[in-house]
Amino acid sequence: MSGPAIIVEHVSKDFVLHHNAQDSLKKRFIGLFYKRWRPQPHIFHAVDDVSFTVERGEALGLMGHNGSGKSTLLSLIAGIYPTTSGRILTRGRLVPMIALGVGFSPELTGEENIYLNASLFGLKNRETRTLFPKILEFSELGDFIYEPVKNYSSGMHARLGFSVAIHLDPEILLADEILSVGDADFQQKCLARIEDMRKGGMTLLFVSHSEGQVVQFCDRYIRMEHGKMIEEGDVADLIDPALKQKVIPIQTTRN
């Protein structure tokens, strides 16, 4: 399989917002009789004409403040949202680590959720049986693995979600705020595993508020603001301010 692992071409994602649902309902009713009272939708450009590629084995960090569009962009690449316009192409087994554990069925046990999630990625039961002891050991859940997931804390959800994701042999890993997983010791364990997988040639697209994490795990970075790419460069630019002159500013215009 040749070519980049991820191609993002002129991708935009718009959401229709209604600031006051009651007012919107009232205006819609009046608008049935008076055209000028019909409410006009407010369009929020969450991701605005973004283009980039990620080569195989490369790690790209997406940075930006809350609301900058980086997590929405990751969700678009994961296929969670459809794009409003543009094209996204991925090559290889893609595993998203976004809102870890949210996709688990609460009535099923941790063990049953492991088998369910693995099957969604094409693994057969015999393959999952081989992986199960490794997933259990990494998650450190012990006998809780046989309890319904609805009884888990948010940290336990995240532990199980991360453990399943990294054992699915991803060729492309989409990771949103890895350090939100569990306590400090487990976080370091997760980061060490991500680093090992990177050395094995895995492609990584990594969302983080932390420049330190981006420098540690990534080759390049993109900074986003108000849904747009405003800057991209090598992670060395984040270490040495003198190299900032090599950062490529992004000029985008919306038609």
Q: How many CA atoms lie within 13 A of 249 on its CB side?
A: 3
**Model pLDDT, residue 250:** 55
Tokens representing 12?
């935009």
Examine residue 17 and state whether it is found in any structural domain, yes or no: yes
For the chain, the first-to-last Cα distance in angstroms comes to: 35
> Given this model, what pLDDT does residue 97 score?
86
Contacts of residue 184, Cβ cutoff 8 Å, sequence gap at least 6:
none
Domain containing residue 58: 6-93+170-249
How does strand 42-54 pair with strand 6-17? antiparallel
SS3 label, residue 215: helix
Task: Provide the token pair at 227.
Answer: 């849904």
Nearest Cα neighbor of 52 from 228, 191, 192 is: 228
Residue 233 forms part of a structural domain: yes
Dihedral sign from CA coordinates of 125, 127, 129, 132: negative
Average pLDDT, 10 consecutive residues per value, the chain (255 residues): 90 82 57 58 91 96 93 94 97 85 86 94 94 96 97 89 91 81 79 89 91 88 96 86 54 52
Number of domains in the chain: 1
Q: Which residues on neighbouring strands pair with residue 205, listed in sequence order? A: 60, 174
pLDDT value at residue 100:
67
Strand partners, 106: none
Pseudo-torsion of CA 11, 117, 184, 59, nearest 10°?
A: -40
Q: Which two tokens stand for residue 153?
A: 């804390």
Task: Give the model's pLDDT for residue 2.
Answer: 73
0.75 exceeded by the pTM? yes
Is residue 54 assigned to a domain? yes
Q: What is the pLDDT of residue 24?
A: 57
The reply to whether 114 falls in a domain is no
Residue 88 belongs to a domain:
yes
Per-residue model confidence (pLDDT) at position 70: 94
For the domain that residue 238 is a member of, what is the CATH number?
A: 3.40.50.300
| Paired tokens of 152 | 């888990």
Q: Mention every residue, 6+ apart, whose C-beta is less than 8 A from residue 212.
A: none
82 located within any domain: yes
Does residue 154 fall inside a structural domain? no
